[in-house]
């Protein structure tokens, strides 16, 4: 995996991932986890959410997997092999995984947005769960993100972000297609929970949630410059403008995500 690959998580973005908890970033998964479940966490990144899953399903077991060896190294540094007995990590591509009906639940949080052939990934997740098992996908609707009175440099950056993603074959509205992808993979009982998160300057979570987008400029922004979707001056202008914007009293950010939960039928193989 190369640092210029869209799916590569640059070092500068790690803090965004390690600041997440199931409580602040994936509540809909919390609602379906139960002690004793076996769970596959696809695209586990540095394993922060995966460790939360392992605590929640104990004594059930959890496998965290990620395409990027640097993410698996970070996950194993946070949770060395054997330290949490019901948790293991491994490097792999979900599209090439051979799991067959091994898990009660397969989860992918903010992962399909980085996979051009997300259908293949979703089908592999559907195969990985047993009959009656669940597939959970949390992801973005990037085209609907909004910032109050955004500075011009930020608007330019975000437009370039969407274009860079699109040029890499990535779907900026991926979560809208996940229900039909679930149906095509043979899953049933497809439930969609729209998640709209608005934070305002002064909110307890504002710096973490809005600050994550500042880190996107620091991380993805460099990939966008390398790919020619932005020049370095525009990137620096976006960092500066967004930092100033965050300090204005009326700053408000709204991000659209949704969580899709579906089930493998009791009597079929997707």
Is residue 68 close enough to count as binding ligand SAM by CB under 6 A?
yes
Q: How far is the CB of 117 from ligand SAM (least distance, A)?
A: 9
Is residue 91 close enough to count as binding ligand SAM by CB under 6 A?
no
Among residues 22, 93, 118, 136, which is the contact residue for ligand SAM, using CB under 6 A? Answer: 93
Pick 45 or 153: Cβ nearer ligand SAM: 45
Residue whose Cβ sits closest to ligand SAM: 43
Q: How far is the CB of 20 from ligand SAM (least distance, A)?
A: 5
Long-range contact set of residues 140-144: C-beta below 8 Å, sequence gap at least 24: 140/110, 140/113, 140/172, 140/174, 140/175, 140/255, 140/256, 140/257, 141/172, 141/173, 141/174, 141/175, 141/176, 141/256, 141/257, 141/258, 142/113, 142/172, 142/173, 143/172, 143/173, 144/254, 144/256
Is residue 128 close enough to count as binding ligand SAM by CB under 6 A?
no
- List Cβ neighbours of 26 (8 Å cut-off, separation of 6 or more): 20, 49, 109, 138, 259
CA 197 – CA 212 distance, rounded (Å): 13
φ, ψ at 236 (rounded to 5°): -65, -40
Is residue 122 close enough to count as binding ligand SAM by CB under 6 A?
no
Among residues 115, 128, 153, 215, which is the contact residue for ligand SAM, using CB under 6 A? Answer: 115
Is residue 229 close enough to count as binding ligand SAM by CB under 6 A?
no
Pick 51 or 121: Cβ nearer ligand SAM: 121
Range in contact with ligand SAM (rule: CB under 6 A) among 41-49, 176-184, 192-200, 246-254: 41-49
The pair of structure tokens assigned to 163 is 């274009």
Pick 1 or 236: Cβ nearer ligand SAM: 1
Is residue 111 close enough to count as binding ligand SAM by CB under 6 A?
yes
Among residues 17, 106, 215, 230, which is the contact residue for ligand SAM, using CB under 6 A? Answer: 17
- List Cβ neighbours of 216 (8 Å cut-off, separation of 6 or more): 13, 16, 161
Distance, C-alpha 73 to centroid of its chain: 18
By C-alpha distance, which of 224, 143, 170, 60 is closest to 50? Answer: 60
Pick 106 or 237: Cβ nearer ligand SAM: 106
Pick 42 or 199: Cβ nearer ligand SAM: 42
- List Cβ neighbours of 269 (8 Å cut-off, separation of 6 or more): 127, 186
Q: How far is the CB of 252 from ligand SAM (least distance, A)?
A: 24
In the complex, the residues that contact ligand SAM under the rule CB under 6 A are: 7, 9, 17, 20, 42-45, 49, 65-68, 71, 93-95, 109-111, 114-115, 121
């Amino acid at each position: 995996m190369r640092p210029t690959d869209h799916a590569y998580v640059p070092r500068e973005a790690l803090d965004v991932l390690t600041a997440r908890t199931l409580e602040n970033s994936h509540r809909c998964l919390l609602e379906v986890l139960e002690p004793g479940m076996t769970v596959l966490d696809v695209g586990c990144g540095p394993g922060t959410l995966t460790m939360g899953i392992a605590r929640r399903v104990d004594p059930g077991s959890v496998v965290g997997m990620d395409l990027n060896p640097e993410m698996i190294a970070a996950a194993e540094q946070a949770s060395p092999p054997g330290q949490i007995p019901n948790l293991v990590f491994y490097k792999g591509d979900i599209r090439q995984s051979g799991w067959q009906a091994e898990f009660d639940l397969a989860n992918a949080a903010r992962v399909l947005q980085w996979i051009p052939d997300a259908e293949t990934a979703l089908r592999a997740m559907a195969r990985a769960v047993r009959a009656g098992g669940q597939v959970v996908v949390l992801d973005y609707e990037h085209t609907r993100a909004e910032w109050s009175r955004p500075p011009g440099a930020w608007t330019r950056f975000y437009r370039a972000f969407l274009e860079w993603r699109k040029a890499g074959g990535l779907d900026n509205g991926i979560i809208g297609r996940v229900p039909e992808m679930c149906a095509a993979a043979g899953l049933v009982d497809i439930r969609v929970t729209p998640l709209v998160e608005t934070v305002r300057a002064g909110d307890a979570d504002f710096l973490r949630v809005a600050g994550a987008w500042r880190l996107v400029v620091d991380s993805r922004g460099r990939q966008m410059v390398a790919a020619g979707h932005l020049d370095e001056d525009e990137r620096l202008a976006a960092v500066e403008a967004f930092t100033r914007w965050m300090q204005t009293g009326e700053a408000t950010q709204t991000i659209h995500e949704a969580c899709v939960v579906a089930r493998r039928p009791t009597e079929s193989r997707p």
